[in-house]
A and B are shown apart, each in its own frame.
Chain A
Amino acid sequence: MVNVAVCIKYSIDVSNLKVDHANRTPITIGAPRRMSDIDRRAVEEAIRIKERCGGTVTAFTLGIPEARTCLREALAMGVDDAVLITDPLLESSDTYITSKALANALLKLGLFDIILCGETSTDGYSYQVGPRIAEILNIPCITYAKSIAISNGYVTVERDLEDRYEVVKTQLPVLITVTREINEPRHPSTASMMKAFKKPIKTLNAKDVGINGLNPQVQILKVFIPELKRKGIVFKDLPIKQSVAEVVKNLVKEGVLK
């Protein structure tokens, strides 16, 4: 039996993010959101561990009230319990506050053998929350996992680094961050989606997770969209031979082809 916790983020769906062209800023208020792609793999991996070893899976998220959407999805995939940490005080939370809140919620909800996180979120790309939680809980941390095996209270993980794979082993409890390549997540059926709607979601606020009164340590001063100065000359109606000749001619003119 292994009790697994998985931390997921209700991320901004960057491929559908609208832009305020006049001010060159992304429109983040009310932007479409979904479960971060890499976190979805963490949920899948948590469920696979449960299927192999027995035990339970609890999903945690910190975000706006609508973040319960991604918890419902996790429940439909096969997660047993879900916890939403939400509070207006948390709206400008940085990785310091997020990891502290998640670590405190994890402690509050019980003892987990394995805590899974995505290596990074697909909107913020900070790579910080997983390792920070491990530090706060003072447990071993294994990052960038591409496979996880568990036996006799130990976990063996293959890590995917730039120039090599590393196989490392440690004793439970452990926090593991997973890569996008670790698995192919399942699609929950409509029936399990319906069932997930009936499951309770536990809600915690800033006070419950002991972070009221904490200020973010990182301040976002400005977010802007840099101007992409591309010429956008696209040949589409010419015969291929002619299109190619045009492009080559232009590349010579640009000085990138000699």
Chain B
Amino acid sequence: MIVTYSNSRECILELISKSRNIANTLGLKIASIVMGLNVSDLANSLSAYSDIVYIVDNPILKHATPDVQSSVLHSILENVKPELILLGGLKEDKEIAARLSAKMNTGCVSECIDIEVEKQSRRILFKRLVYGGIAIAIESINSKPQVASVRKGVFEKASPLAVKGEVIKLDVSIPKPRLELIEVKGKEAKGVDFESAEVVIVGGRGVRRREDFKLLEELKEVLNGVVGCTRPVAADLKWFTEWIGLSGHMVKPKLYIGIGVSGAIQHIAGIKDSKIVVAVNNDPNAPIFNACDYGIVGDLYEVLPELIKEIKILKTHS
């Protein structure tokens, strides 16, 4: 059996779609685990994708932290005895993966970008990015069960099965939570779907003021894309809360335009699946010029208005 778990429904569907190839090759069934309070709707909806859905519905699990979640998963998995356990790409999923592996005294590969079965040996191969994203490692796990977490947004979402799976209610003893949740504060206006955007425009440290991002917004309007920034602009300058790069959103647009982006390797890793990469920077030695399809060496405050104008002309003519 392959067991999938994530705190995000979207991630679960990605895990199931990836599991299907592995399950078919190795002749395994796919199960999902759902826990929380009043989660039978989620369990029922997942039964359209999974052969089995295990559900633990309990008031104590309403705001469960990874501490409790990993214990509950451990109790279930000791009985289910799966070959492979796949966790999602949320921060909490990664913590659960690590803790569950420690509890089960087994190996875990984090943040996989691909998982496949080696033909002859039928060994499961886990692919992940290492060294800031410039290299790919292929790893295998020689302990049981094998545990892996998977990067978010890398795999397609699963399509429904022809026959609905079975929903099995479980009664699991739940440990006393060791963490007390005092407060939850939502982050401001999320909702930009970087992962599925077709055009991504990114501002880097070359953009001198936060209000100058309106130039990027203008380009975004013309190209019908999304605007993001690099890690230093978000994490150091705190102009935004999210960024594009290995430690943030990994994007795969048809067109990526980096404005004043120098091209740190972690950023390049986050845009590596873009079809075309365009870079604008006034430093001819900026590393991004070694990782772009088209580059313009020049002041972004001159290039950007010209670029917007050119594209507008093109759009009105077509």
Contacts and interface: CB of A to CB of B under 8 A. Distances in A.
Given A127-B98, A162-B90, A250-B294, A240 B303 contact: yes
Interface stretch (B156-164, B207-215, B304-312): B304-312
Interface string B284-297: 10000111111111
Contacts of A221: 125, 138-140
What 3 pairs across the A-B complex have the smallest Cβ distances? A217-B107, A14-B132, A135-B102
Of the candidates B130, B139, B187, B303, the one having the most CB atoms from chain A within 10 angstroms of its own CB is B130
A170 B178 contact: yes
Contact of A140 (B91, B178, B296): B178
A78 interface: no
Contact of A234 (B110, B132, B292): B292
Interface stretch (B21-29, B33-41, B275-283): B275-283
Contact of A165 (B97, B109, B185, B297): B185
Interface of B: 65-67, 90-92, 94-95, 97-99, 101-103, 105-111, 125, 128-132, 134-143, 149, 178-187, 190, 199, 223, 235, 246, 254-255, 264-266, 268, 272, 275-279, 284, 289-299, 302-303, 306-307, 310-311, 314, 318
A15 interface: yes
Nearest to B141: A218
A235 interface: yes
A43 interface: no
A141 B91 contact: no
13 contacts: A26-B135, A96-B101, A128-B98, A129-B98, A134-B99, A166-B185, A217-B107, A228-B291, A234-B292, A234-B296, A235-B294, A240-B299, A252-B314
Contacts of A217: 106-107, 141-143
Secondary structure at the A interface, as helix, strand, loop or mixed, is mixed
Secondary structure at the B interface, as helix, strand, loop or mixed, is mixed
Contacts, number: 247
A164 B296 contact: no
Interface of A: 12, 14-15, 17, 19, 25-26, 94-96, 99, 122-132, 134-136, 140-144, 156, 161-171, 180-181, 215-226, 228, 230-236, 240-241, 243-248, 250-252, 254, 256-258
A225 B265 CA distance: 12
Contacts of B92: 143, 161
B189 to A, nearest CB: 11
Nearest to A144: B91
Given A128-B101, A218-B107, A232-B293, A243 B298 contact: yes
Given A126-B110, A127-B98, A168-B182, A236 B297 contact: yes
A127 B111 contact: yes
B276 A254 contact: yes
B292 A232 contact: yes
B142 A223 contact: no
B318 A258 contact: yes
A94 B142 CA distance: 12
B130 A123 contact: yes
B297 A226 contact: no
